[in-house]
């Protein structure tokens, strides 16, 4: 079996270990920059757990022209608002994920270097889908890579590893901390999320943790 076949199978196996996996679907918006994905097209899957819904990228780790597992990552967003799927109450979270996917796909090789240097990354996205009280100066912040205890954060493909990274939208006060403090601010917000039991779960009702 070639790597082009093994990577999707390993990825599917990862998600089967998390919950019930739905069918693959395309983007619901136009911010995910599909031409920059390793295979030249974007795709997503929905995973349902007993307490939450997940929308995940399905192809950022596919083999590109240079071989290997693409960008070496997949992204996902998770919360109770996604239990009904990507277009229901959690539509805003789907938008956040797709825009984050486009931003990281555009980062190319620099993404791997950033992940090697930092445990958690941050992004500033548009406020197109942000609920009231979440945007700051037309921007919505997000952390990438906040860990959820007990859930594997990677899966192997041959001699490589694909990281499975969470995307967590930020409240304006949290984004302000990240802007002001950089890596230390990202760590402080991540610690606040963990301290209040949110970890990587996203919810429009979540209060600020800093």
DSSP per-residue letters across 165-197: EEEEE--HHHHHHHHHHTHHHHHHHHHHHHHTT
Mean pLDDT split into 10-residue runs, the chain, 210 residues: 74 97 95 95 97 97 81 97 95 98 93 93 94 95 97 92 97 98 98 98 98
- The DSSP secondary-structure symbol of 201 reads B
> Does the residue 167 lie in any domain?
yes
Range of the domain at 76: 3-195
- The whole-angstrom separation of Cα 127 and Cα 88 is 18
180 exposed, middle or buried (CB, 10 Å; 0-12, 13-18, 19+)? exposed
> Does the residue 149 lie in any domain?
yes
> Does the residue 36 lie in any domain?
yes
> Does the residue 201 lie in any domain?
no
pLDDT of residue 4: 59
> Does the residue 200 lie in any domain?
no
Strands 160-169 and 139-144: antiparallel
> Does the residue 206 lie in any domain?
no
- The predicted model scores a pTM of 0.95
> Does the residue 16 lie in any domain?
yes
> Does the residue 207 lie in any domain?
no
- List, for residues 3-51, the tens digit of each pLDDT value: 557 889 999 999 999 999 998 999 999 999 999 999 999 999 999 999 9
pLDDT of residue 1: 45
Give the total number of structural domains in the chain: 1
């Amino acid at each position: 079996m070639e790597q082009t076949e093994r990577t999707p199978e390993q990825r599917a196996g990862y998600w089967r270990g998390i919950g019930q996996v739905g069918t693959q679907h395309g983007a619901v918006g136009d911010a995910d920059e599909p031409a920059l994905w390793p295979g030249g097209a974007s795709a997503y899957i929905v995973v349902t757990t007993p307490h939450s819904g997940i929308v995940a990228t399905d192809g950022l780790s596919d083999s590109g022209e240079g071989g290997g597992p693409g960008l070496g990552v997949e992204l996902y967003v998770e919360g109770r608002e996604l239990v009904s799927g990507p277009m229901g109450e959690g539509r805003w979270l789907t938008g956040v994920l797709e825009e984050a996917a486009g931003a990281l796909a555009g980062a190319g090789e620099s993404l791997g270097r950033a992940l090697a240097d930092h445990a958690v990354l941050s992004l500033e996205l548009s406020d197109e889908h942000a609920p009231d009280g979440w945007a700051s100066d037309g921007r919505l912040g997000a952390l990438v890579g906040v860990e959820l205890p007990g859930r594997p954060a990677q899966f192997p493909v041959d001699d490589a590893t694909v990281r499975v990274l969470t995307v967590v939208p930020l409240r304006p006060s949290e984004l302000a901390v990240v802007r002001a403090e950089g890596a230390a601010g990202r760590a402080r917000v991540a610690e606040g999320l963990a301290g209040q039991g949110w970890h990587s779960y996203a919810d429009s009702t979540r209060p600020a943790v800093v």
